[in-house]
Amino acid sequence: MIHPVRIGTRASPLALKQARMVAEALRHAHGWGPEWIEIVPTTTTGDVIQDRPLSEVGGKGLWTKELDRALAEGRTDLSVHSMKDVETLRPDELVIGAMLPRADVRDRLIGAESIEALPHWGRVGTSSPRRTAQLLSRRPDLNIVAFRGNVATRLRRVAMGEADATLLAAAGLDRLGQGAVGTVIDGMLPAPAQGAIGIEVAASNKRVRELVQAIDDRPTHICISAERRLLAGLGGSCRSPVASLATLDGDAVILRAEILTNDGSEFEAGEVSFPAGDDEAPLALARHLLKQASPALNALFAGEAASS
């Protein structure tokens, strides 16, 4: 190549760490020296707007549009994303060419030993509709405080007393060397694609697509694709509380999912097992959940564009 492979990434500490993980994987796969890769940080709109939930200011596209533009204009060769932050429907000109092995999918609670240990009427900082609904489903007395910002910002806000606790993805904490922070929360399905790092490339760039294919983790790619297919079938927005997790059992994919009302008072859950590569099964599970849902729950999904 006439120039180093240029990796586009958000400029947050976690995003830069993930870009370096992709760079290291590419170097190892192809025997490259450091000079063959350049990391190109970009401050996205989602990083700039910190005072409002994403659902109020444009959704998950705020994390990706600047990186998409850099790819389209040839300023980068690939983009590195946290897959849970990538819209379900992407431009036809782009393709998720590879994913690194998935990390811990669970959340960690910071500020208390457990959800049950939180004080009555305790304040939990989060701007995630999924986390909000799951928390309120267990503890309807809790007060949810809108929290945005990177990992360090949210940890600092809890330390300053702006909330009694917050939830953060275990994968992000682990990647930042903070694996001892917080208490793992079991029994809560994660956000679709949580814990996965995706590498997106221009569909027309055969050379880069082949380069990143060498670092693709097939089990992760299969599971994340199933979870994103479920999202497409649900047709929800980033305001719609959805949780899902796909795992492999031999050649079979086991996909669990739940949809909730925003206050957690209603939910529908389901599970399906199907052969890897079956794109219809996640859609069938989505239809089943919506069919079983109450009118109030169904209204959060029916008629929405599958843009998250």
Residue numbers annotated as active site = 85
Q: Quote the CA–CA distance of 66 and 260 in Å, as a whole number.
A: 31
Strand, coil or helix: 36: helix
Task: Give the C-alpha separation, 242 to 227, whole Å.
Answer: 10
| b/e burial code for range 212-235 (CB count within 10 A of at least 16 → b) | beebbbeebbbbbbbbbbbbbbbb
Report the C-alpha gap between 110 and 178 in whole angstroms. Answer: 12
Question: CB neighbours of 284 closer than 8 A, spacing ≥ 6?
Answer: 233, 272
The amino acid occupying position 289 is L
Q: Which residue has the tokens 């992709």?
A: 22
What is the helix, strand, coil percentage profile of the chain, to 5?
35, 25, 40
Q: Which two tokens stand for residue 271?
A: 């599970």
Supply 301's token pair: 């999904």
Place of tokens 């586009």: 8
Q: How far, in Å, are 19, 177, 208, 284 from residue 10 at the CA level?
A: 9, 19, 20, 35
When computed from its CA atoms, the radius of gyration of the chain, rounded to whole angstroms, is 19
User: Dmax over Cα atoms in the chain, in whole Å?
Assistant: 61
Q: Which one-letter DSSP state was computed for residue 4?
A: P
